[in-house]
Structure 1
């Protein structure tokens, strides 16, 4: 039994010449990673519009001139290299975020434990309104120290993972060039 294929969703890019796709500061753009920022933003914004599980096809319409015969292979390789690089960069950002989260968690737990012990000591040492206010303030401070690690582990990693998956999908995209 064959597995159903996921239909490819098309991203159409209309340009006058192929050089518009690449950063003009890169002396060898077809082999490396430097895509023009406007072209990158355009491709990424359209990729985000398509379903998450959809495969992508990038169709480049070149209005002016005839691109070289091997342009489709060269541009395809350049786009794949660029988005592979961006996916690897997003993965590094994710690993760094998780390291920061673990470090924040250790610091937060240590501070929370200290605050709980201090609050317990304050509770045993004295009674009264002022002692209660100080004890509760110390407890609140301990729990506030846990805010950042929880924010990292519950929310901050989602956008990085989503971005990495999108870049991986763009790195696998079929690239075609048409003229006219």
Structure 2
């Protein structure tokens, strides 16, 4: 059975582990008391969801050693999944606001530098400098002015949309449903859930 299946309006992501607690990591009890997804599990779910059609909703199919997970395990995962990805979406939303603000401030600075460089280039044009030197200095100043706008252009044209897409993906994952996976036959020597079966019970981050 494939680990991810796209249907009409739905993307199903299969998780198969030895124990549902493998999927969780806990913070130090002070000041946090909530479970969080193991970083390996969170990365796996997000990477599987990344290429799903934008309008699809997600269903996580949880299996335990090839058998359907019980309802308490599915409900526990759903609660932790919602908490984890809501927090991740909030973080990405904050990162997006910071990035846009940085881009706008950088653009303002870049435009001021460009205006100054344009004025200096015109001054060089009128200065009593030998022709070869004049063109070189003028072009160098003009290039510097345009280069000052490279970073804001990169932010405002390219850098923001992957962050926005991650934010939207995490919001959708926070609303994912968790159901028991259908029992499946084991395959000798290899299992669909091998990557998650071998992951540590605790992760350094989430």
**TMscore range, shorter length:** 0.7 to 0.9
Deviating 4+ runs (over 3 angstroms): 24-28, 64-71, 177-180
Which shows bigger deviation, 35-44 or 65-74?
Answer: 65-74
Instruction: State the partner residue of 2:122.
Output: 120
Find the residue that maps to 1:137 and give its secondary structure. Answer: helix
Change (3 A) 1:104 1:143: same
Instruction: State the partner residue of 1:171.
Output: 174
Conservation of the 8 A alpha-carbon contact between 1:17 and 1:64: no
Instruction: State the partner residue of 1:72.
Output: 74
User: Quick one: distance in 2 between partners of 1:98 and 1:83?
Assistant: 22
Is residue 2:154 matched to residue 1:151?
yes
Find the residue that maps to 1:61 and give its secondary structure. Answer: strand
Shift of 1:105: 0.6
User: Quick one: distance in 2 between partners of 1:157 and 1:51?
Assistant: 20
Is residue 2:140 matched to residue 1:137?
yes
Q: Which runs of 5+ in 2 are unaligned?
A: 1-7, 184-206
Residues 64-85 of structure 1, C-alpha deviations (whole Å, 9 max, x = no match): 9997753333321110111011
Change (3 A) 1:36 1:54: same
TM-score, scaled to structure 1? 0.86
User: Quick one: distance in 1 between partners of 2:70 and 2:62?
Assistant: 14
User: Quick one: distance in 1 between partners of 2:137 and 2:26?
Assistant: 62
Instruction: State the partner residue of 1:32.
Output: 34
Change (3 A) 1:129 1:13: same
User: Quick one: distance in 2 between partners of 1:137 and 1:61?
Assistant: 64
Q: Which runs of 5+ in 1 are unaligned?
A: 1-5
Conservation of the 8 A alpha-carbon contact between 2:68 and 2:181: no
- Which one of 52, 66, 77 corresponds to residue 50 of structure 1? 52
User: Quick one: distance in 1 between partners of 2:9 and 2:22?
Assistant: 28
User: Quick one: distance in 2 between partners of 1:87 and 1:11?
Assistant: 19
Question: RCO (CA 8 Å, sep 6+): is it higher in 1 or 2?
Answer: 2
Find the residue that maps to 2:36 and give its secondary structure. Answer: coil
Which shows bigger deviation, 18-27 or 126-135?
Answer: 18-27
